[in-house]
Amino acid sequence: MASIFEATHPDHAIPLLMKLPHLEGGDPAHIVSFEMEQMILPRLSGPHVPRFVAAAGFERQPYLAMERILGPSLLLRLRELPLAVEEVASIGARVAVALSELHRQRVSHLDVKPANILFRDSPSGGKGAAEAVLVDFGLSHHGRLPDLIEEEFRIPYGTAPYMAPEQAMGQRNEPRSDLFALGVLLYQFATGALPFGDPQHLSAVRKRLWRDAIPPRRLRPDLPPWLQEVILRCLEVDPARRHPTAAQLAFDLNHPEAVRLTARAERRRRDGWLKVLERRVNQDRAPRQGRPAATAHAAPVIVVAVDLREQTAPLAEALRASVGNLLRTLPGARVACVNVLLDRYLAGDPLQDNRGRSTHVQRLVELRHWAAPLGLEEGRITFHVLGGSGAAAPLLEYAEANGVDHIVMGARANSMLRTMLGSVSGEVAARAPCSVTVVRAREALP
């Protein structure tokens, strides 16, 4: 999703990295995840995250500059598995401490895996002083920021072997999803195997909702009961049955004698097929919860649909004026500027312009320029380029999935295209789950 370069700067004595996203290709997730990390990393602090240094947007060459963590990642330890019990517990405790500090800052990482965990030496030095550092926040969720991943995509993102069941079902605002991922990592480092394998499809990932893992003591008989208790508690399907916080998980890993043992500690077999079938039937019968709408904020959401291909200057000004009027009546509202990239065969949009630049990125830049006169600070305005064969359907889907309160859009000018394709604004107004304002520019007097 990005290239990483070592960097230097005369104003910064610390080792630096520069991250440049891959803009070629047709996967908008690369762009959106980079935007998420640009929003989240500057708001994080403490020794368990890289220090933010600088960033640049998509107007020219986007980048993210940060502290370079000189220590190794856990990825290098995979060749040594399984590890000694004491080392598994020590690694797990230090990662849990890092997660605890992250969760206190209202961030769920949602991509905890060996490659995203590094260790750096404590300033005090000494044996065993290496602190865990979490990196790569492109898939993370911040409780006080818009969640662009959730708002724009209908499929869950993460690393399949470590993904929590609720995350596989589309829930992104649960910190205990990180405890599940850490449980997978503890299982892997203790046994040398992944508890749920390496599924390649989402349907296979979702099997962990009803199919439990082989108890780790079945694979490694010398594993102490207390560690199996901790691991299987992390791997519970229901987040409420896991440790309440990462801090409590760290305490258990640091104090084995204090771990309260249950039936989990002595298990040697997976649940039988009747139990699995019952679980699956109950899961299938359970009412499907919709994607959580606007989980990060209770403020109203105003969508302004911006047609960058046909919009005239008078219409753009009229749209901005309409949004400004709404913001005066809803002072806490957030604005989402949306454009649709058409992928139909006729009258569609190319993936790249004549200079080889990503059309998706160019639209994001144009949306930012369009919205600049509104003068809204970061966090109150977001920018989204959706895809679809028509303009109406993606707008309606976005409004339904994200609990939108009001849509503002321009009326298409009378033309042959409108005659052939119909009125987008009319279709949106007829089917939208919220109020819709259709704006038409006032004609200039001769």
Whether a cis peptide bond, with omega within 30° of 0, leads into 82 is yes
Contact, 275 vs 242, CB < 8 A? no
In Å, the largest CA–CA distance within the chain is 89
- Token pair in block for residue 172: 């992104």
In 3D, which of 141, 140, 152, 442 has the Cα closest to residue 303? 152
Which domains are assigned to the chain?
2-67 (3.30.200.20), 74-285 (1.10.510.10), 301-439 (3.40.50.620)
Residues 99-113 have a mean pLDDT of 96
- Token pair in block for residue 56: 């640049």
Q: Which residues contact 381 (CB under 8 A, 6 or more apart)?
A: 334, 335, 336, 337, 371, 374
Burial class (CB in 10 A: 0-12, 13-18, 19+), 209: middle
Contact, 304 vs 406, CB < 8 A? no
Q: How far apart are CA 41 and CA 35, in angstroms?
A: 10
Model pLDDT, residue 154: 77
Per-residue pLDDT tens for 148-184?
Answer: 888 888 788 899 999 999 999 999 999 999 999 999 9
Per-residue pLDDT tens for 323-347?
Answer: 999 998 887 888 999 999 887 655 5
Model pLDDT, residue 217: 96
Q: Is 111 a catalytic residue?
A: yes
Beta bridge partners of 91: none
pLDDT beyond 80 at 418: no
Beta bridge partners of 435: 406
The per-residue pLDDT of the chain, averaged, comes to 87
Compute CA distances 251 → 216, 254, 259, 406, whole Å.
21, 5, 9, 47
Q: Provide the whole-model pTM.
A: 0.82
Helices 85-104 + 176-191 axis angle, to 10: 170
- Token pair in block for residue 233: 């508690």
**Residue 24 confidence class, pLDDT cut points 50, 70, 90:** confident
Per the listing, tokens 């043992």 go with 261
User: Among 27, 111, 284, 307, which one carries the catalytic annotation?
Assistant: 111
Per-residue pLDDT tens for 120-132?
Answer: 876 544 455 689 9
- Token pair in block for residue 260: 């309260």
Model pLDDT, residue 342: 83
Q: How far apart are CA 220 and CA 208, in angstroms?
A: 21
Q: What are phi and psi of 347, to 5 degrees?
A: 60, 30
Per-residue pLDDT tens for 211-264?
Answer: 999 999 999 999 999 999 999 999 999 999 999 999 999 999 999 999 999 999
Residues 51-79 have a mean pLDDT of 92
Residues 406-421 have a mean pLDDT of 66
For the stretch 7-40, what's the b/e string if a residue is b when 16 or more beta carbons lie within 10 angstroms of its beta carbon? beeeeeeeebbbbebebeeeebbbbbbbbbbbbb
Model pLDDT, residue 284: 66
Residues 10-33 have a mean pLDDT of 86
Beta bridge partners of 2: 21
**Residue 313 confidence class, pLDDT cut points 50, 70, 90:** confident
Model pLDDT, residue 259: 93
Identify residue 194 by its one-letter amino acid code.
L
